[in-house]
Structure 1
Amino acid sequence: MVGDAREKAGCFVETTRLQVMDHYYYKWNRLLLGNTLAHSHLQYEVYYFHAGRCVYRLGDRAITLRPGDLIIMNGLASHYPQVDRTKEYVRTMFSFDPRKLAPAEHGFLAINPLKPFELLRNRHLRLGEKAQAECEILLANINRFYHSIDTVDQYRLLAAFYDLLLFIYELCRPEMERKSYSLMAGEHSVRQAIVYIEEKYMEDIEMERMASELHMNRFHLMKVFREITGLTVFDYLYHRRVEQAKIMFVHSDRDTVTDVCYKVGFKHPSHFSRVFKQMVGETPDRYRRLVRGAL
């Protein structure tokens, strides 16, 4: 998403400026239609739980959250919150593209602050009272500068963001020291596959052709993709198509449900409707009317 829709704490905010983050929520307490859908992505993600009742699904794990819990994710494992809707659900979350945050580009770090995401991949951190207080100060500091378009404030935002990454690094350092530092070959293959899907999801994707173009063994790719993301290749593909369909329903007045079906890569409207209902909980037509205020 792009734009400069600014609101204060407790609301959803997106900007373009330094492109530090792709998606950003600070003390967000609303549930958006379909936002609890299981998903995977290339971005790294930081999630902090402020209040409510929530079981967070991360790969094959089910984590019962407590206020002050912090989760870091490399994005590839399927993840989503299962929320008790009778309680106010408050969280801070942001995702970012690690390729845009190479430490060498900014030249002031002697260590790699992305190492916890690369080495540990997905971790649930239950913070003690002192660490929780520090984390909330760091998040508030990020939010303070995130809203500003002043150039100095934008670089202070970058510094605040790195400060949070270093805080996470410090929390994860004991575990990282027990592990060897190498990015899994399987994870590299999965990232290549996801990039391929992002480029071609509107086309007719065949597993054999995909593996061939990526110079991989089809069965190995299917195996590691499922192990790392928790989804099959085609489950991921369908999730991507459905997410694009949701975007089109919000922003396109002219396209019918059938138009959207074909544009996002489905061959048959009945299959599109069945998959959409299974993932979103509403039929495409009803979802379209809901987001356009027709119901």
Structure 2
Amino acid sequence: MDENIKVFFRKSDKQWSHDEFPYHSHDKFEIYYFHSGDCKYVIGDRIYQLQPDDIIIMNGLTLHCANPEMTAPYERSIIEFSQEWIKPLVNGLQVSELLIPFYKLSNSLLRNVDKTILCEIEELIRALSIQMSEQLPQSKDLRLHNRLVNAKVSTLFVQLLFKIYELSQSRLAQVPLYESEKDYHVERVINWIDEYFTTDISLTNIADNLNISKYYMSRIFKEITGFTVMQYLMSCRMNRAKFLLEMNPEKSVLDVAIESGFESPSHFSRFFRQQLKMTPTEYRKRQNSARLVKSNRK
């Protein structure tokens, strides 16, 4: 069940480093509920200054990260769930429409939600968290226990999807994608990198093409996102490399490195190992093995 859905209810941090919230992507849909703190959320080229009770629905494939300030505890609830798991459930109930928000409104923010609905959503996430962490009672049949827990989790989660779907159908407050000149310039930088990250680029290239001071660009990017421009660039390249390694098993590591924008195969392998603690070849083998295991279960 853990590989199908992960639930974090009111996870709270009082101290942290920005390294704990890296740019990342994954192949799951995500529901993110912001409870409290001082946090900007970056999804692709969108930057949101979060307010308490904001809800974000995400396609995890888009690079995203939270950038909380340590001026207040950072509290949020998060659910990540697999499309492969949820599709048969909603199709079986003949309500495949419940996934429309994650396709058509992907990476969107829901704000000014009615308090009653928020309480219902929070209670469903809390109940999911309890079910996911439930321990096996002594003398209970393991298979029966797992079936019951899976059924409870599935039922609760479909109820949550109904709430999200209903919210997506109403016209909630329009949320500005940026609120300052700094946000605007950072979005321009992200857009430019997203288009050209596979080429040989530098800070000077980016600044010149966007007609902005390199030093100002570097400073505001770090201020808004919590990461340097080059860290974001390398995140894009890593994301592309992981995709190519997994989806194109016939493609050589050399070709993956070149097509992802790395300066050389040795640089690619070294950086990859630093980030994931394994070589590109080891990563490919692990992903292929995981895919085979999933196929055999079907």
The TM-score with structure 1 as length reference comes to: 0.56
Q: What are structure 2's unaligned runs of at least 5 residues?
A: 137-144, 172-238, 282-298
Q: Are 1:158 and 2:154 matched, yes or no?
A: yes
Deviation of the 1:108 alpha carbon: 2.3
For residues 73 and 138 of structure 1, the distance between their equivalents in structure 2, rounded to whole angstroms, comes to: 19
For residues 246 and 256 of structure 2, the distance between their equivalents in structure 1, rounded to whole angstroms, comes to: 14
Deviation of the 1:36 alpha carbon: 1.5
Deviation of the 1:100 alpha carbon: 2.3
> Contact (CA 8 Å) 1:58, 1:80: kept in 2 or not?
yes
The aligned amino acid for 1:164 is: L
Q: Pick from 81, 106, 111: which aligns with 1:121?
A: 106
Q: Are 1:198 and 2:246 matched, yes or no?
A: yes
Percent of pairs with identical residues: 26
Deviation of the 1:76 alpha carbon: 2.5
After superposition, the Cα gap between the structure-2 partners of 1:244 and 1:81, relative to the gap in structure 1 and judged at 3 Å, is farther
Partner secondary structure for residue 93 of structure 1: strand
> Contact (CA 8 Å) 2:32, 2:77: kept in 1 or not?
yes
More helix by share: 2
Deviation of the 1:71 alpha carbon: 0.4
Which shifted more, 138-147 or 105-114? 105-114
For residues 271 and 118 of structure 2, the distance between their equivalents in structure 1, rounded to whole angstroms, comes to: 36
Report the structure number with the largest CA radius of gyration. Answer: 2
> Contact (CA 8 Å) 1:103, 1:112: kept in 2 or not?
no
For residues 252 and 54 of structure 2, the distance between their equivalents in structure 1, rounded to whole angstroms, comes to: 38
For residues 240 and 108 of structure 1, the distance between their equivalents in structure 2, rounded to whole angstroms, comes to: 46
Structure 2 partner of 1:134: 120
Partner secondary structure for residue 166 of structure 1: helix
Residues 82-133 of structure 1: per-residue CA shift (max 9 Å, x gap): 1111311011112122122213577223333211111222110112322211
| Equivalent residue pairs, number | 195
The TM-score with structure 2 as length reference comes to: 0.55
After superposition, the Cα gap between the structure-2 partners of 1:242 and 1:143, relative to the gap in structure 1 and judged at 3 Å, is farther
After superposition, the Cα gap between the structure-2 partners of 1:94 and 1:197, relative to the gap in structure 1 and judged at 3 Å, is farther
After superposition, the Cα gap between the structure-2 partners of 1:246 and 1:172, relative to the gap in structure 1 and judged at 3 Å, is same
The aligned amino acid for 1:91 is: R
Q: Pick from 33, 46, 53: which aligns with 1:68?
A: 53
Residues 18-71 of structure 1: per-residue CA shift (max 9 Å, x gap): 6431x4322111347723211222211111111111011122121111111110
> Contact (CA 8 Å) 2:32, 2:79: kept in 1 or not?
yes
After superposition, the Cα gap between the structure-2 partners of 1:118 and 1:243, relative to the gap in structure 1 and judged at 3 Å, is farther
